[in-house]
Every structure is written in C-alpha cells, then in structure tokens.
Chain A
Amino acid sequence: MSKQEQPPSATEEEADEERAIGPVTTGSESVIRALENAGVEAAFGVQGGAIMPVYDALYHSDIRHITMAHEQGAAHAADAFSVVRNEPGVCLATSGPGATNLVTGIADANMDSDGLVALTGQVPADMVGSDAFQETDTTGVTAPITKHNYFADDPDSVGDTVGEAIALADEGRPGPTLVDLPKDVTLGETDAEPGPATPPETTQPQYVADEADVREAADAIEAAERPLLLFGGGVIKADATDEARSFAREYEIPVVTTMPGIGSFPEDDDLCLSWAGMHGTGYANMAITHTDLLIAVGTRFDDRLTGGIDTFAPEAEVIHIDIDPAEISKNVHADYPLIGDAGIVLDQLDDAIGRAPEAESWREQCLTWQDEYPMDYATPDDEPLKPQFVVEVLDEATADDTIVTTGVGQHQMWAAQYWTFSEPRTWVSSHGLGTMGYGLPAAVGARIAADDDQQVVCIDGDGSFLMTIQALSVAVREDLDITVAVLNNEYIGMVRQWQDAFFEGRRMAAEYNWCPEFDMLAEAFGARGFRVDDYDEVADTVEKALSYDGPSVIDFHIDPAENVYPMVPSGGANGKFALTEDQL
C-alpha cells in the first residue's frame, strides 16, 4: 500500500481542517492566494530563512509541496511539471544560496521556453544593498535568464505581482519568471486580495498571422517540389500537435522534428523522418539538406540543429511560423515570416492552400533515404551490452504514453534515437542549455504532473545521475513510482567521444571509473537497485524494475567504447553526417 492510499490519521485530519486559507492578512498569504487563483496544484522547493513566511502561509493551503533535496532539483522538477502539464511550474527557494542554486534550472527553462515561476526569499527591503546574511542580487543575477523578473516591494501588491509573473510565464512564448520576495513584504500586513492572474499590458503577443503573408506562404507551398515540415518544441508548447499532424497528412508533406519537437508527430508514421541535427537521423538530415521549401514551425534554429549556417537547407526557401517575432530571421533568414500561434497559423495556411504540392517523387526519395541510412546497430557477442538495445527494450516494455526524462550526453541521444515517441509531452529533456543532472529531478516533477496510470522512466548517464542523485531521496520519501535506467559506461561519454575524435584521444577528466555502485547506492537511499551486465538479463530486470511500485534504479553497464552516430561535426554540414568514427 502506498502512502497516498493509507487512511489519514487523526492528526492529519486536524491538519486538513487547518488547511483552509482564510482572508488574506499578510503579504505571504497574498502570494499563496495568487498561486491558488492561478490554479497551481504543486510547488517544488527548499525551505530557508528568508522564504519561511511564504512556507508558513503554504501550511494552510491545498497546494501540494514537494520538498526537494537541492534547489536545482526544485527548478528542474517544476520545469518538467510544466512540460508534462503544459502550464507553468512553480519552485520556491530562499535568498542567497537558495536563489543561486535555482539559476541553472531557470536558465534551462529559458533556453527551452518552459513556463516556470520561481519565488525566492530575500532579505528585508531596508537591508538590501548592505550585503546582509544570505543576500544576493537575485533579480540582477537572473535578469539575463528570465522572461522578466520582479522585486516585490509592497505587501498590498505582492499577490498581483505573483499573478502577473504566472500569467507572463504562460503567455505567448512561455518562459521563466521570478519574483523576489523580501521578508518584510511577506511578513507585512495587508488585506488586499489579489485579482486573477493577468499578464502585463506591455506584452501582447500576436496570435493570428497577417492574411497577405499567409497567402504568399500558401502559394509557395503549392508550388514546392520538395517541401519539408520542421516541427519544433513550439508546436508542443502551442498545443498544436493535432493541427500539425492533420496539416502534414492532408498535404502529404514529410516531417522532420527538432529534438524539443520530439513527440509532436508520431515517429512511426510513414511521413516522419524523426529528428534532425547533430545526432539526428541520416534521413532527416538528408531531407533538410535537399528540401526546396522548409516549413518551420516553432523552432529557433539552434546551432545543434543547423550545423554551419552556410550549409543549412541551402536550397530552401523558408516559411517560419513563430509566436516570437524576434526569432524570425535571427539565425536563418525567413523568406515567409508568419508571426502567430502555431495552431492558428497552420489553420490559416490550411484555409489558404488550394492544392497539395506535387511531391510524390520527393516522398519516395525520403523513403529511399530511410532505407539507405537505417538507425540499426550491431550487437556482437564479443562486445559488451549496447545502450541502444537497452533503450529499445525499455520502449517495448512500456506504454505509448510513458514519459521519458533524461540527463544530457550520449545516453540522452540514444534515448532520443532509439525510443519511438508518438505523443507530445512524453519526451522531457534539457535541450538548449544541455544540463547534465536534469533527468532525475525532472522525473520527480514529471511523476507529480503525470496521470496516475502513466509510467515515468528516467534514462540517465553515470555522469548526469551523479550530479543530482540527491533527488532520489525525494522520490523515496514521496514514494514516487519512477524507474531510472542508468546507461553506465564509466565515462562522461560525450566528452570522451569528442576527445577521441577531435583531441587525439587525450581523455582528460573524462573517465568516471570511480563511480559508486549505483544499485547499492539506490538501496542505501531506500529505493530498489538492480545491476545488469549482459543482454540476457535486460528484459527480466526491466520488468522487475517497472513493476516495482516505487523508485527503482537499474545500473546498466554498457559498452564503454560505444559512440553516438550519426554525427554532424560542430559547425559542419547536415548532409555530411558521419556514420562511423573514421568519417569524423
């Protein structure tokens, strides 16, 4: 029986009666009321001196608080919650080191456009600037990595400020916001009830694209001979996967996704070429290289996708659909910019297109590339366990709506390459910032956000797992049913791969053979631990771990020599991806 199923004790019932926040009397109660007004169900954080008044108000609230072991984990968990729920996640931390520990997670959310609201304690306003105990200029530190941040200076308005921060995090292109809460403001008396969460007047995204622009883009689509759809993370953020799928199928246009766009289109669909970029599939990169019309939706053309800009989609006119005007022609010139919401603009295009492009031979070419560059790997008897095999077994053993979280590195690439994704918001990873250690706290956040019958699997690397392993204590305490699969090659493997390819094999600081025994460590935390060395143990152990009702860790000792392919060398041409080491 899990903790959630146990009958409440008498003391818990008494506590429940206290959990009815009455009229607002303090700034901190106003903060919590603002969260409740916005429908916030869960928050992730760590206590501390300057944030204590906010926590004290949270004591009387129905909002579920998950106490994390480290603030970085709180930010990642709230970020993953936001990805899975498609609504802002909330994290809390105290001033000084609490706030600075959030920075990595906030920067991660900023790069991946994840709605995140960080509430940080701060020393009393009249001490700000005096270098007081646990004082950091939090709004200064986080200005470059937030959509906007706020320094609350008045108990009467602090609730509305928090409401605005939540609304702004969710409006248009999502992103992280932060409210710095000085202790005198949260302790201060007020009876001002915050209104509904309202975004600021100065930010007004445009949701509907200009009709004349749509008409021009529609004409270009009709005339294209080699059209290609590129679905980015924005398709998922805009909740536009239905529109995106029906658009691609109606006009029979092949689809490539970006890595954050994984799940926007089913990867087992005939039109889908999976994801493009540095470690994307050969066929996706061939399609990108040879398309004559790239219809990009909700992507910012990160360099990991484009390779060298000079060789990116060099034959293509570009239609770029984005809610953020600043992304238009930032990295890749847009011949047909369409500013608006992905779903709305795709519908506008659908209305404007008279006939599907004649692209039969192009579609055949894309299928030929799929045959020419298969994502297929060898499992020779004289080599240790291949990580790709582990990912495929995990995929087979779990339902289609299973959520996968990852850290960053080789394991992340193998997970993205060999797990067949078909649903949005089931791939939860750190893309733009590339944050090692994202996976485990993200699994905690995803587990809280997911439906009860959804499985959550964290595919991690030994290096990433070690960075935020303290979150395992949270999973145990909260009795969260997550399965962690560590693809352990005793290396910081992606670095090792680059050292071998570009640094003449000098493996400086990349060997992790001092790693602890992760199965035993998991047991020490109170989770279930397993170790797998051979092919014939994989399926049974996966089954045991998945069926265990609680956190479990499988330490897969994989082939330390295995590398990630295809690979487009940094700044190289997408079409010149290497398939083996000697091609790098």
Chain B
Amino acid sequence: MSSDDFKVTDDSDEDLPKHGLKGPSPDERPHPEGRRNSQGIRIDPEAEAEHEPRRAVISALVEDDPGVLSRVSGLFSRRQFNIESLTVGPTTVENHSRITLVVEEPEPGIDQVEKQLAKLKPVIAVGELDADAVRTELVLLKVEGDEPDKVHAVTEMYDGQTLDAGPKTITVQLTGDEQEIDDAIDAFRQFGIIEIARTGYTALARGNQATVPGEKPGTADEPTRPTNAQ
C-alpha cells in the first residue's frame, strides 16, 4: 500500500458541507403521526392513556444469604421502585425466608418489580398475591395512660391486646388489614398517641393455592424449585 491509494480528491466534495453531512433537513422529512406514552406503549394520539399506579402485595421466597435484604432494598432504591413496606421472616424450609412487599406502581412497574426481583441470585421465586389473599399487619401503639378504662374498651373493640400498662402509658397490640389498623389508630388519637410501630403487610395466598409460583404448601423441608419468571 502506498499513499497514492489514498489521494484526497475534492471532486466529490463539491456538494458536501465542510462540517456535517448532506441530505434533507429534519423539516423536509416525513414524520409519522404515531406516539408512545412514557411507558413505551403505542397510543392513540386522540385518547392518550397511561396505567395508573396501584398497590400490589408481592411475595418472594429467598435464600438466607448474607445481605439478601440489602440486595432487595438496594434494588428498590436504585430502580426507583415505590415501596410501601417490606417484611421478612423464616419459612417451613431451613435457610429460606419469605419477603412480603407492598409496592405502589403502574402495571408495567409492578411487572418490572417482579422480574428484577426474580433476577437476584438469592431469590428462588416471586409472585404477586391475588386480591383475596390473607394479609395482615401488626401495630404497637403507646398511648397516654390517663384513661385506662376507655383505652381498654377501644382495644377490645378492635380485638387488640394490652401488652404493657403503667401509670403514665399503655401499650397495645393490634392486627388486621390496613384499613382496620388505620381506623383503630384514629380511635386511639383521643387518648394521645405517644409512639407507633407498624410492621407492614405479611401475607399468604388463600386456600390451597401456592403463595409464590412453584411453592408447595405444607411440604416442610422440601425446598421450592425455582421457576422461570415470566
């Protein structure tokens, strides 16, 4: 090869700009009418609609690796998923835990939450619970102890238990779904609420249904086999 193979000739440069390329400018080109919404879904420009956020209860079976909880919470913060609550505890299988999450996202976001969770190595299986799932939350309420009889009556009304009663404070425990807990807290406000601790939902599928795909209810010590998350 010699430099003769690469002679610069200006013959072809006549209609080329010094900097940039030739061709029809942006306003000389055809542009389609169609559009996608922010969720990447093609839309009718006349009737643009997006999925509204909804709450979803998601259950994940995980291996008790060190740091599994930080991997899950890190995933939520780095992907900007809107998480309402997270609870975790052991299952019937040694070294497995169940994480129950409540998220509030549009439909595509909930889909992403499940799929991204399923990608984490310690996560065995993930599923969203049906609306009829059994779910409950626990709350501890510490209220002023000036009116113990009235406090006791409200506690009874909400099927709660008194865990600690002293001259200055009374601490009660309530369980139930989110709405019941919210109502109860409203009812206790009259006494003066000092502190609250809430767990967020924990949940299981109703009846003989598996809570997460592939889970075998009632088979203690038989590990769940992972299923391909779809």
A residues at B contact (CB < 8 Å): 139-140, 143-144, 147-148, 151, 168, 200-206, 282, 286, 289-290, 301, 309-312, 314-317, 324-326, 328-333, 339, 372-381, 383, 389, 393, 396-397, 535-540, 543, 561-563, 565-566, 573, 575-581, 583
Contact = CB atoms under 8 A, between A and B. Distances in A.
B89 interface: no
A380 to B, nearest CB: 6
Nearest to A289: B32
Q: How large is the interface on B (under 10, 10 to 19, 20 to 34, 35 or more residues)?
A: 35 or more
Given A315-B32, A393-B6, A536-B3, A282 B112 contact: no
Nearest to B229: A325
A357 to B, nearest CB: 19
Interface in B205-230: 225-226, 228-230
Given A331-B40, A377-B16, A396 B23 contact: no
Interface in B30-60: 30-42
Contact of B23 (A139, A147, A289, A374): A374
Contacts of B2: 539-540
Contacts of A581: 19-20
Interface stretch (B114-122, B140-148, B158-166): B114-122
B1 A380 contact: no
Contacts of A578: 26
Nearest to B20: A580
B34 to A, nearest CB: 3
A576 B118 CA distance: 38
B1 A333 contact: no
B69 to A, nearest CB: 12
Nearest to A312: B36
B21 A580 contact: yes
9 contacts: A310-B38, A311-B35, A325-B115, A333-B108, A376-B12, A379-B13, A389-B6, A566-B21, A580-B17
Contacts, number: 166
A380 B5 CA distance: 18
B24 interface: yes
Contact of B24 (A151, A330, A372, A375): A372
B36 A148 contact: no
Chain A CB within 10 Å — which of B5, B19, B20, B39 has the most?
A: B20
A562 B6 contact: no
A575 B31 contact: yes
Contact of A565 (B20, B26, B39, B229): B20
B63 interface: yes
A376 B34 contact: no
A433 B167 CA distance: 62
B21 A373 contact: yes
Contact of A563 (B20, B25, B67): B20
Given A143-B71, A204-B226, A575-B29, A538 B6 contact: yes
